[in-house]
Amino acid sequence: MILSQDELARALEAANAGLDTALERLDALLRIPSISTDPAHGADCRAAADWLAAELTALGFDASVRDTPGHAMVVAHDRAAAGPHVLFYGHYDVQPVDPIDLWATRPFEPEIVTAENGERRIVARGASDDKGQLMTFVEACRALRAVSGELPARITILLEGEEESGSPSLAGFLDAAADELRADIALVCDTDMWDRHTPAVTTMLRGLVGEEIVVTCADRDLHSGMYGSAARNPNHVLAGILASLHDKDGAVAIAGFYDDVAELPAEIAEMWAGLDFSAADFLAEVGLRIPAGERDRSVLQQITSRPTCEINGMTGGYTGDGFKTVIPARASAKVSCRLVADQDPQKIRDALRAHVRARIPEDCGVEFIEHGAAPAIAVPVDGSYLAAARQALTEEWNEPAVLVGSGGSIPVVGEFKRRLDMDTLLVGFAQADDNIHSPNEKYDVESFRKGIRSWIRILAAIAT
C-alpha cells in the first residue's frame, strides 16, 4: 500500500503524540531481566517473549512464541498488505549486568533521567541493546496502523532471545521456518547512528570467533608456600599466553591472523576520510587518550575494518576479598576475535588454538570451549531498498545518511544471506555513549522518538 503524503504526516504526528505511552510499554519490557547467557534467567527470557507476542497480537499481528532448543523466538505476521515482504529482526535478550556496583540505578528498574545537556535518557539494561531499538519498529507499526488501518508492506517480525549468547538456535530455526521468514528484504535495528545528528546505514559488519581457554597444571590446588616456584602455576602460563597475543606495535601476533585481510576499498576509505571522526574525542569519551591498536592504522579502521583479538575475561586462583596463598589447578580466559572480509572463522580459531598449544608446558594441559563463530558481512551498497532507506533517514534527520562499517558482529545478517538468500538493511538509532554491555546502559528518548518516525518513513518509502 502506498501512503499518501497526508497519511505519512499523520503517522509521524501519531508517533509524537503517542510517545509517553510508547515509553510506558518500553518500560514494561525493560523490567523483565531477560539475560540469555545466565541459566538462572530462563523464565525471564520466556516472559519477555510472551510479553512481546501479546503486544504484537494486540497490534493485529498473527504472533506466536516458538520453542527452540534454547530460548524461544517470537514470530509475528501481518499478511494483509500487498506491498513487498519485509522481515524485521530484533532481539529481546540482554547482557548480564555485572559489575552491578557501578550502576547508578537498578538495571531492571528503568528510569528516565535528564542529562546536563537537557537530553532525556532511558536508563536500564537493554534500553538500547536491543529492547529500545526493536520497540522503535513495533511502535512505528502501531502509528501506521492507527492512521491508515493497515500497514504499507507485508511485515514479518522475528525476535530472538539468544543474540547475546551466540545465537545457538538461530540457524536451525531459520532453516525450519524458512518459508514463512523469507522476505524481499530484512531490516535489523541493532546498530548505531554516526553521531547524534547523522543517521547511518551499516553495510559492513565484522565477524566473531569466541573461544575459552582453560589451562590446567597440577591435579589440585596447591599451597604457594609449599609448592611455589617448583610447581607450574597456570596463572603464570595463561598470563604468558595472553601477553603473547599482541606484539609491541598493537598487532595481533597469532601466525596467519592477517593472511586473508584485504585493504579497505578506495571509495569507502574516501568516504570515511570525509567523516568528522576525532580519534581523540572517541577515546576521551571513555577516559582514554592513547590508541592501543595497530600503530599503523587509524582508530576508525581499528574499530571497524581491521580484525582484533581481545581478552574479554580471565580468572584463576583466589579472587574474592582478602588473600589466599594458593596455586590453582586451572586458570581460564575468554578471548574473542573480530573478523573482517574474507577471514574464515574456523581458520582463525585453529590459528588461535595452535598459538596457545605451542605455549603450554609439556606437563600441563589446555582445553578449549567454543563460544560462537560468524564471518564478516558486507551488505551490497547499490540496492533500491538501501536507496529508499537512505532517503527516508535523510528526510527525518535533515542530514544525509552515511554508509558505515560496524565493529560489532550481528551474526543473523550472515545467516539471512546464507539460509534465506536475503539481504539486510542495518538501520539503528543507538549512540556511541549508550553504554551497551556496560553499567548504566541508556537510550536517548530522541533516539526512540525519531527512531519510530524513521521506520515510519522507511516503511512508507519501501512500499512506494
Contacting its own copies within 166-225 (CB under 8 A): 166, 192, 206, 208, 210, 212, 217-225
DSSP state at residue 39: G
| DSSP assignment string, 105-167 | S-TTS-EEEE-TTS-EEEESTTTTTTHHHHHHHHHHHHHHHHHHSS-SSEEEEEEES-GGGT-
The answer to whether residue 349 forms part of the interface with its own copies (CB under 8 A) is no
The answer to whether residue 322 forms part of the interface with its own copies (CB under 8 A) is yes
Beta pairing class for 62-66 and 73-78 = antiparallel
DSSP state at residue 321: S
The answer to whether residue 418 forms part of the interface with its own copies (CB under 8 A) is no
- Select the residue interacting with its own copies from 302, 424, 447, 454 (CB under 8 A): 302
The answer to whether residue 91 forms part of the interface with its own copies (CB under 8 A) is no
How far is it, in rounded angstroms, from Cα 393 to Cα 454? 6
- What's the distance, CA 398 to chain centroid? 26
Comparison of 179 and 321: residue with beta carbon closer to its own copies: 321
The minimum distance between CB 119 and its own copies, in angstroms, equals 18
The answer to whether residue 435 forms part of the interface with its own copies (CB under 8 A) is yes
Instruction: Note whether 365 and 380 are within 8 A (CB).
Output: no
The answer to whether residue 326 forms part of the interface with its own copies (CB under 8 A) is yes
The answer to whether residue 357 forms part of the interface with its own copies (CB under 8 A) is no
The minimum distance between CB 30 and its own copies, in angstroms, equals 19
How far is it, in rounded angstroms, from Cα 127 to Cα 286? 20
Comparison of 95 and 156: residue with beta carbon closer to its own copies: 95
How far is it, in rounded angstroms, from Cα 165 to Cα 437? 12
Q: Which stretch binds its own copies (CB under 8 A): 96-104, 130-138, 385-393, 454-462?
A: 96-104
| Cα-based distances in Å from 166 to 37, 95, 131, 210 | 9, 11, 17, 9
- Select the residue interacting with its own copies from 7, 27, 38, 150 (CB under 8 A): 38
Contacting its own copies within 141-160 (CB under 8 A): none
The answer to whether residue 109 forms part of the interface with its own copies (CB under 8 A) is no
The answer to whether residue 278 forms part of the interface with its own copies (CB under 8 A) is no
Q: Which stretch binds its own copies (CB under 8 A): 116-124, 179-187, 279-287, 386-394?
A: 279-287
